[in-house]
Homo-oligomer: A and B are copies of this chain.
Amino acid sequence: MATLKQVAAHADVSVQTVSNALNAPHRLRPDTLRRVNQSIEALHYRPNRNARSLRTSAVELIGYCVPSPPNGQAHLVMDQFLHALCSAAETTGRHILLFTAPTGLEGMPTYEDLLARRLVDGFVLSQTQTHDPRHGWLKEQRIPFVSFGRVWKETSQPGPFVDVDGAAGCAAATRHLYATGRRRIAFLSWPKSSGLAEDRMGGWRQTCKELGLPTTGLAKRCPKDSIEAGARATAELLDAAEPVDGIVAVSDVLALGVLRELGARGYTAGVDVGVTGFDDSPLASVVSPGLTSIRQPMDEIAGALITLLTGPAGTGTEHLLQPELVIRGSSAPG
């Protein structure tokens, strides 16, 4: 492996000049720059990042804690998220370092350790829980981080965050069902303790009000995010005196439960009942009819996360992004 010194010798300049050619090319005379670049090329030179980091004390690495799968449901869009995050980081010359840590506050020493050993410059948090304790802790320790997702505290959120406007997404889904002729639209949610679900449900409720649609008895909270729970809630909605003709689900998994119950009763999703999910996970395009779902704009999310974490101080501290309704057969046949 060639070093800066060797390149300098080859180009007959000082190491300072080669370093400048790499990091501040405008400081060089064009012909000098060209000569240096030729030497770099000739020697196949690649700057050693460790040496640079040691000197500048910036490693250009961002830590991301891989959620442990047993810990809850599978993260069905994690591959999308990680790819977007990685791409966004790379546009700024950075990379993602993966690590594992215990859940919640217990994992915090791991974060501190990684930073102290200079393995990373900061962290991206995801899988944010309602009242997640990590954010406050990190902020207190002055550890750089940015969050994907809100902690849904009454007070202002510690640290910068990026999130998707779930209420707007569910409002769009509700309007879409209305536009396709639905007039009794239910909402399938998670337990009340989920700030995320409450936010999304708010979008549905508000839109129903605006459209003059009923909401009484149409909000169902499923105890778990499972197909089973979604199917059960759907059964209740269909058995009611006034059955529903549209269902907005807070997740794709619950929506799949809706589809199953509809199928079991011989109904056709998209014809008899319009159905929408949330996340546009692989599940959505794999079922038939396809599941209309609310897609989180992963590339924008990732870009905003990286900007907030690494950008200049005045970059702002929160981004609320608009999701996109992906329409498939479950809400609009043909």
Contacts and interface: CB of A to CB of B under 8 A. Distances in A.
Interface of A: 1, 44, 46-51, 53-54, 57, 59, 61, 64, 66-69, 73-76, 78-80, 82-83, 86-87, 90, 95-100, 113, 116-119, 226-228, 231, 253, 256, 260, 263, 281-283, 286-288
A95 B69 contact: no
A53 B59 CA distance: 12
B46 A66 contact: no
Contacts of A87: 100
B86 A99 contact: yes
A330 B88 CA distance: 42
Given A49-B118, A54-B50, A117-B49, A69 B79 contact: yes
Contact of A100 (B83, B116, B117, B283): B83
Contacts of A231: 288
Contacts of A96: 97-99
28 contacts: A46-B113, A48-B117, A49-B117, A50-B50, A50-B53, A54-B54, A64-B98, A66-B79, A66-B82, A66-B83, A68-B83, A69-B80, A74-B80, A78-B79, A82-B82, A82-B98, A83-B100, A86-B99, A90-B100, A95-B99, A96-B97, A226-B286, A227-B286, A227-B287, A227-B288, A228-B288, A231-B288, A263-B263
Contacts of A100: 83, 86-87, 90
A69 B83 contact: yes
A91 to B, nearest CB: 10
Contacts of A287: 227
For the complex of A and B, 8 pairs with smallest distance between CB atoms: A74-B282, A46-B116, A96-B98, A50-B54, A50-B53, A78-B79, A66-B83, A49-B117
A87 to B, nearest CB: 5
Nearest to A65: B86
Contact of A46 (B44, B54, B59, B117): B117
Contact of A74 (B46, B79, B116, B253): B79
A263 to B, nearest CB: 7
B67 A83 contact: yes
Contacts of A281: 74
